Amino acid sequence: MLEQRHFKRGEVLLRENDLGETAFIIEKGLVEVTHQVGSERVHLATLGPGETLGEMSIVDDKPRSATAIALEPTVVSEIHQDDLYESLQTDPQLAIMLLKSLFERLREADARLYRILAQQTGERLSAVSPAPAPTQVVTPVLRLEALTTEAAAALLDVGLLRIDHFPFRIGRASHNPLVQNDLELRDQMPWQISRHHLAFIVEDQRVGVVDRGSQLGASLDGIRFGGSRDEPGPVFLQGDRGQLVIGSPESPYEFKLTLEPA
C-alpha cells in the first residue's frame, strides 16, 4: 500500500496547482512548504518526520494548494487516493493519521482566513503588522522553558524544550486518536489547556503564537489572544525573548520563550 520514495535536497515533492492523487508521510528529512502570492513565495511551514503533506488532494479533486521542496535528503512514504479508502478498514491507524492531519489543516486554514479578513478591515493587533519578506529562509530555534512548578510538571518535568520545526502544535494530553499535537501538556480539572490550544508559527522569519480554537486563550507578553476573543493571533515575539501564559490570565502554566541565535 505504501511506497517509499527518496528526494534529494532541492527536489520538489509537490508543486502548487498540479493535480495530485497521493499524499506523503515524511519518514526522514525536512520539507519546506510554500505558497505563491503575486510575485512573492510565502513560507508556510517546515515539516519533519511523522508529518504529512498533500493529503487534501486525495480527498478532493482540486489542484495542489502549495509547493513542497526537500530542504535535505528526504524519505517519504507515499499513499494513493484509492489506498486511503481501503485503509479505513485494513489499516485504521494510517487512516487516523491522515484524518488528524486533515482536521488540523482545516483549523489552520480557518485561522488564516480570519487573519486575512481582519487585516483587510484594519482589525488586526498592532503586534501582527507585516514585515518585509526575507531574502533567505532560515528556520529559527525557539526554547520553551517552564517558569512555574505547574508548567514544569506539564512538560513532564523536562523543564526546557527546543523547538526547531514550525508550525509546532501544543495541546492538552488526550486519549483522543484524532488529536494532533507536537507537544502534549499534562493538565487537570478545571482545565486551563485545551486539546487543540495553540501553535508556534513562522511568518517572514518572525516567530509568533496563534490560537487553534482553545477555550481560554493565551497571552504573550501580556497581549491576550484566542479563547472567547475574536482575535486568534498570531502575536509575534518582539525581540528574542517573551513570556507565554497558556490559559486564563490566572493560569499557572507560564513559560519563557527564547530565540537562539541563527
What digits encode the pLDDT tens for the residues 151-175?
999 988 677 899 988 889 999 988 7
Q: What is the pLDDT of residue 80?
A: 81
Cα–Cα distance for residue pair 199/210, rounded to 1 Å: 5
Tell me which of 148 and 79 has the higher pLDDT: 148
Res. 241: pLDDT tops 90:
yes
Q: Measured between alpha carbons, how far apart are the two ends of the chain, in Å?
A: 41
Mean pLDDT of the 233-262 span: 93
> How would CATH label the architecture of 3-120?
Sandwich (2.60)
**Residue 74 β-bridge partners:** 7
What digits encode the pLDDT tens for the residues 93-111?
776 776 766 666 656 655 5
Report percent pLDDT > 90 for the chain.
Answer: 37
Stated pTM of the model: 0.60
Cα–Cα distance for residue pair 42/208, rounded to 1 Å: 16
Tell me which of 10 and 136 has the higher pLDDT: 10
Tell me which of 84 and 150 has the higher pLDDT: 150
The 3-state DSSP class for residue 153 equals helix
According to DSSP H, which parts of 31-148 are helical? 81-90, 92-120
CATH code for the structural domain at 136-259: 2.60.200.20
Q: What is the pLDDT of residue 104?
A: 67
Report percent pLDDT > 70 for the chain.
Answer: 77
What digits encode the pLDDT tens for the residues 58-76?
666 678 888 999 999 999 9
Amino acid code (one letter) for 127: A
According to DSSP H, which parts of the chain are helical? 81-90, 92-120, 149-154
What digits encode the pLDDT tens for the residues 189-240?
889 999 889 999 988 788 999 998 889 999 999 999 998 776 888 899 999 9
Mean pLDDT of the 31-59 span: 82
Q: Enter the DSSP assignment of 11.
A: -
Mean pLDDT of the 24-43 span: 87
Q: For residue 147, which of 253, 258, 260 has the smallest C-alpha distance?
A: 253
CB atoms within 10 A of CB 125: 15
Mean pLDDT of the 5-30 span: 91
Res. 112: pLDDT tops 70:
no
Res. 12: pLDDT tops 50:
yes
Q: Residue 225 in contact with residue 233, Cβ under 8 Å?
A: yes
Q: CA of 210: how far to CAs of 70, 217, 235, in Å?
A: 26, 9, 7
Q: What is the pLDDT of residue 178?
A: 63
What digits encode the pLDDT tens for the residues 119-137?
555 544 444 444 444 444 5
Phi, psi of 92 (to 5 degrees): -60, -30
Mean pLDDT of the 42-48 span: 83
Mean pLDDT of the 28-56 span: 84
Domain boundaries, the chain: 3-120, 136-259
